[in-house]
Structure 1
Amino acid sequence: MDLTSRAAAFAAVAHGKINQRRKYTDEPYIVHPWRVARTVRQAGARDEVVAAAWLHDVVEDTPVTLVEIEAEFGPDVAALVEMVTDVSRPEDGNRKARKALDRAHLARASAEGQTIKLADLIDNTETIVEHAPGFARVYLPEKRELLRVLTAGDATLHRRAAALAERGMELLQSPVP
């Protein structure tokens, strides 16, 4: 099995073991990493970046560790996953403080790491704006701030993520018929 297929299978097992579902849509969680990996692949990323896109939420959301990712996929993929894994913890303060820590971590990510995060933002923004307008009012301003530091990532994905955030803000501000 090639690297990206192994990463896809690993992510499916990791998220499936805990029967993880997408918030707001109740889809199997693996749909999200699939869309992120597809977006990263379409942006022309190399296999290691696509593999990391498949795995981007595994360390945050499952019992899998970065050590296990490195043992299975090598240091390059593990480093990319680490770049997009939130570093904040509940004890780091309120949501604003935690998001600032995560944003500073992502600002130091490589262009490839930031590209994965941009693909993640694209998929999350579409889902949240459509299914959770109340939370979108909190989420979208945070994403605008995050986009200010994700300047090394793929430029096309950055424009797409920014446009989605702006369109989401406009939708939330327009009167309901």
Structure 2
Amino acid sequence: MIFEAIKFACQAHEGHFRKGTNIPYISHLTNVMKILLEYGYDEEVAVAGLLHDTVEDTPVTIEQVEAKFGAKVAHLVKGATEPSKLNHREGEEEAPWKERKSHTIDYVGREQDEAILALALADKLDNIRAIARDYRRVGDAIWDRFNAPYEQQNWYYYSLAEAFLSRQEEFGEEYRTLTEEFSEAVREMFP
């Protein structure tokens, strides 16, 4: 199923690149999958990691994900998708950045499914690693790539780290270790 998901994600994200780079977006998706597998999550969670942005960023629907990869994968992808993007209509304006990010932080504090939280963690861990890597290369110019400046990114990532850490006692060792790694990456990027 993983190799089918890689092909599916490659087709869905064809022509997409990481913000401000010439790096194909599929690299982020395979990194998320890799993180999930490294932390012991199963194949369906890894496949959801590969597909977590397809509904948000491509014409693919959650129904198509379910038809091809099953109910569990679709449930996980849906859990990783901003609600406004699940039913987004062409030409409809996106919610403001701060509103979307506040929703994500609140969601992390409420979500009961460890696999959905692990998927969100793997996604954010790869994002913060990419930001840190590019920051070392281009400095403060990196913030021009994003919809929010340094101060707001700092707030977002620290708030996320706090929300993920607050859930540590509810889940297994894999989740706890993943939250620690994410929190450490946030502290390194935003000292």
TM-score with structure 1 setting the length: 0.85
Alignment partner, residue 155 of structure 1: 176
Deviations 1:114-159 (A, max 9, x none): 1111111111001123325434443232022122333256111110
Query: Matched residues, percent identical?
Result: 30
**Structure 2: which amino acid aligns with 1:118?**
L
Alignment partner, residue 125 of structure 2: 122
Give the CA deviation at 1:92. Answer: 7.4
Inter-partner Cα distance in structure 2 for 1:109 and 1:24: 34
Aligned pair partner of 1:68 in 64, 79, 83: 64
Alignment partner, residue 103 of structure 1: 105
Aligned pair partner of 2:96 in 94, 97, 106: 94
Alignment partner, residue 175 of structure 1: none
Quick check: 1:37 aligned with 2:42?
no
Alignment partner, residue 146 of structure 2: none
Given that 1:128 and 1:136 are in contact with CA atoms closer than 8 Å, whether structure 2 keeps it comes out as: no
Inter-partner Cα distance in structure 2 for 1:91 and 1:136: 24
Where in structure 2 are there 5+ consecutive unaligned residues? 86-91, 144-148
Matched ranges for 1:11-90 at <5 A: 11-16=9-14, 19-88=15-84
Give the CA deviation at 1:109. Answer: 5.1
RMSD: 2.0
Query: Are residues 149 and 91 of structure 1, via their aligned partners in 2, closer, same or farther at CA, if it must alter by over 3 Å?
Result: farther
Aligned length: 166
Inter-partner Cα distance in structure 2 for 1:144 and 1:105: 15
Secondary structure at 1:40's aligned position in 2?
Answer: helix
**Structure 2: which amino acid aligns with 1:168?**
M
**Structure 2: which amino acid aligns with 1:100?**
S
Secondary structure at 1:10's aligned position in 2?
Answer: helix
For structure 1, which segment, 126-135 or 47-56, has the greater mean C-alpha deviation from structure 2 after superposition?
Answer: 126-135
Where in structure 1 are there 5+ consecutive unaligned residues? 171-177
Quick check: 1:144 aligned with 2:158?
yes
Given that 1:7 and 1:51 are in contact with CA atoms closer than 8 Å, whether structure 2 keeps it comes out as: yes
